[in-house]
Structure 1
Amino acid sequence: MENARPDTPVLNQVPPLTAISLLKLLLSNIVVWTSLCAIGALGNYGDLVKYGTTQRSFSEILWFWVSSHLLMMVFSTCLYLIFMRYERFLSKAKGIALAYAIMLLGFLPLEVMYIAILDLLKDKPGFGLQDIVSTAFNMRNFTIFLEFAWSTGTFIAVLAICTWRQARVRERALQQSMNDVLHLRLDLEQQRLDALRGQLEPHFIFNCLNAISALVRSDDKRIALTGLNRLSDLLRYALTASSRDWVSLEAEMTFIRDYLELQRLRYGARLQISITGDTADVLTVDCPPLLLQPLLENALRHDLDCHEGSSDIRMQFKLDGKELSIKVSNSVTDGTAANPGLGLGLPQTRARLELMYAGRASMHSGRIQDEGQQRYEVEIRMPLLMPESATT
Structure 2
Amino acid sequence: MDFSDSIYNSRLAIDRTRPAKHRVTPWWKVIPVVCAVWSVFAVLAGVANFFDLRMLGMHASLSGQVSLFMALLSLKVILSCVLALYFERAQDEALRVKHLFRIFFYLMLFFLPLNLCFEGLYIAYRRDPSQVSWISITEVISPMSLWMDMVLINFAYSVQLAYSFWRKNQRQFLEAQAARQHYLQLRMQQLQGQLEPYFLLSSLEDITDLVLHADPQVATKALARLSELLRHVLDSAEDEWRSVEDELKVLQDYVAVQTLRFGDNLKINYVGRDRTWETIACPPMLFLPLLDAAVRACTDKLLSSSQEIVVACSREDGNFVLRISIYSFLASFGQISPALQEVNERVRLAFGNLAYCDERVILGQSGRRLALILSFPAREREDD
TM normalised by structure 1 equals 0.67
Q: Is it true that 1:2 corresponds to 2:7 in the alignment?
A: no
Partner SS for 1:359: helix
Moved more, 164-173 or 289-298: 164-173
- Change in CA separation of 1:299 and 1:266 when aligned onto 2, cut-off 3 Å: same
User: In structure 1, what is the equivalent of residue 310 of structure 2?
Assistant: 314
Asked if structure 2 preserves the Cα contact closer than 8 Å seen for 1:329 and 1:378, the reply is yes
Asked if structure 1 preserves the Cα contact closer than 8 Å seen for 2:243 and 2:277, the reply is no
User: In structure 2, what is the equivalent of residue 363 of structure 1?
Assistant: 357
Q: What is the distance in 1 between the residues matched to 2:310 and 2:200?
A: 24
- Change in CA separation of 1:235 and 1:28 when aligned onto 2, cut-off 3 Å: closer
- Once the two structures are TM-superposed, the CA of residue 350 in structure 1 deviates from its matched residue by 1.5
Q: What is the distance in 1 between the residues matched to 2:50 and 2:257?
A: 95
User: In structure 2, what is the equivalent of residue 383 of structure 1?
Assistant: 377
- Once the two structures are TM-superposed, the CA of residue 242 in structure 1 deviates from its matched residue by 2.2
User: In structure 2, what is the equivalent of residue 220 of structure 1?
Assistant: 215
Q: Is it true that 1:329 corresponds to 2:301 in the alignment?
A: no
User: In structure 2, what is the equivalent of residue 13 of structure 1?
Assistant: none
Q: Is it true that 1:303 corresponds to 2:304 in the alignment?
A: no
Q: What is the distance in 2 between the residues matched to 1:278 and 1:236?
A: 22
Can you give the 5+ residue segments of structure 2 that lack an aligned partner in the other structure?
12-26, 88-93
Q: What is the distance in 1 between the residues matched to 2:134 and 2:326?
A: 108
Q: Is it true that 1:175 corresponds to 2:143 in the alignment?
A: no
Q: For residue 375 of structure 2, what is the amino acid of its counterpart?
A: R
- Once the two structures are TM-superposed, the CA of residue 113 in structure 1 deviates from its matched residue by 7.4
1:222-281: CA deviation from partner (whole Å, max 9, x where unpaired): 211111111111101111112212111111112211211111111011011211012435
Partner SS for 2:264: helix
Q: For residue 348 of structure 2, what is the amino acid of its counterpart?
A: E
Q: What is the distance in 2 between the residues matched to 1:128 and 1:357?
A: 74
Alignment of 1:101-120 (within 5 A): none
- Once the two structures are TM-superposed, the CA of residue 37 in structure 1 deviates from its matched residue by 12
Asked if structure 2 preserves the Cα contact closer than 8 Å seen for 1:76 and 1:158, the reply is no
1:147-170: CA deviation from partner (whole Å, max 9, x where unpaired): 83x666655555544444433333
Q: What is the distance in 2 between the residues matched to 1:240 and 1:128?
A: 84
- Change in CA separation of 1:230 and 1:169 when aligned onto 2, cut-off 3 Å: same
Alignment of 1:237-316 (within 5 A): 237-280=232-275, 282-306=277-301, 308-316=304-312
Identical aligned residues as a percent: 19
Q: What is the distance in 2 between the residues matched to 1:275 and 1:258?
A: 14
User: In structure 1, what is the equivalent of residue 202 of structure 2?
Assistant: 207
Q: What is the distance in 2 between the residues matched to 1:6 and 1:267?
A: 49
Partner SS for 1:363: strand
Q: What is the distance in 2 between the residues matched to 1:284 and 1:116?
A: 75
- Once the two structures are TM-superposed, the CA of residue 290 in structure 1 deviates from its matched residue by 1.8
Asked if structure 2 preserves the Cα contact closer than 8 Å seen for 1:274 and 1:315, the reply is yes
- Change in CA separation of 1:298 and 1:374 when aligned onto 2, cut-off 3 Å: same
Partner SS for 2:348: helix
1:347 paired residue among 338, 341, 346: 341
Moved more, 363-372 or 261-270: 363-372
User: In structure 2, what is the equivalent of residue 12 of structure 1?
Assistant: none
- Change in CA separation of 1:331 and 1:72 when aligned onto 2, cut-off 3 Å: closer
What is the alpha-carbon root mean square deviation over aligned residues? 5.2
Partner SS for 1:309: coil
Q: For residue 242 of structure 1, what is the amino acid of its counterpart?
A: A
Q: For residue 312 of structure 2, what is the amino acid of its counterpart?
A: Q
Q: What is the distance in 1 between the residues matched to 2:238 and 2:9?
A: 31
- Once the two structures are TM-superposed, the CA of residue 118 in structure 1 deviates from its matched residue by 6.2
Asked if structure 1 preserves the Cα contact closer than 8 Å seen for 2:360 and 2:370, the reply is yes
Q: What is the distance in 1 between the residues matched to 2:82 and 2:73?
A: 14
Q: For residue 365 of structure 1, what is the amino acid of its counterpart?
A: E
- Once the two structures are TM-superposed, the CA of residue 179 in structure 1 deviates from its matched residue by 1.6
- Change in CA separation of 1:300 and 1:43 when aligned onto 2, cut-off 3 Å: closer
User: In structure 2, what is the equivalent of residue 11 of structure 1?
Assistant: none
Q: What is the distance in 2 between the residues matched to 1:349 and 1:305?
A: 25
Length, aligned pairs only: 344
Asked if structure 2 preserves the Cα contact closer than 8 Å seen for 1:215 and 1:224, the reply is yes
Asked if structure 2 preserves the Cα contact closer than 8 Å seen for 1:282 and 1:317, the reply is no
- Once the two structures are TM-superposed, the CA of residue 115 in structure 1 deviates from its matched residue by 9.0
1:280-337: CA deviation from partner (whole Å, max 9, x where unpaired): 3545322122211111111111113346221021111121121111111111158x9x
1:184 paired residue among 137, 155, 179: 179
- Once the two structures are TM-superposed, the CA of residue 370 in structure 1 deviates from its matched residue by 2.5
- Change in CA separation of 1:157 and 1:302 when aligned onto 2, cut-off 3 Å: same
1:207-235: CA deviation from partner (whole Å, max 9, x where unpaired): 11122122212341221111111111110
User: In structure 1, what is the equivalent of residue 18 of structure 2?
Assistant: none
Q: Which has the higher helix share?
A: 2
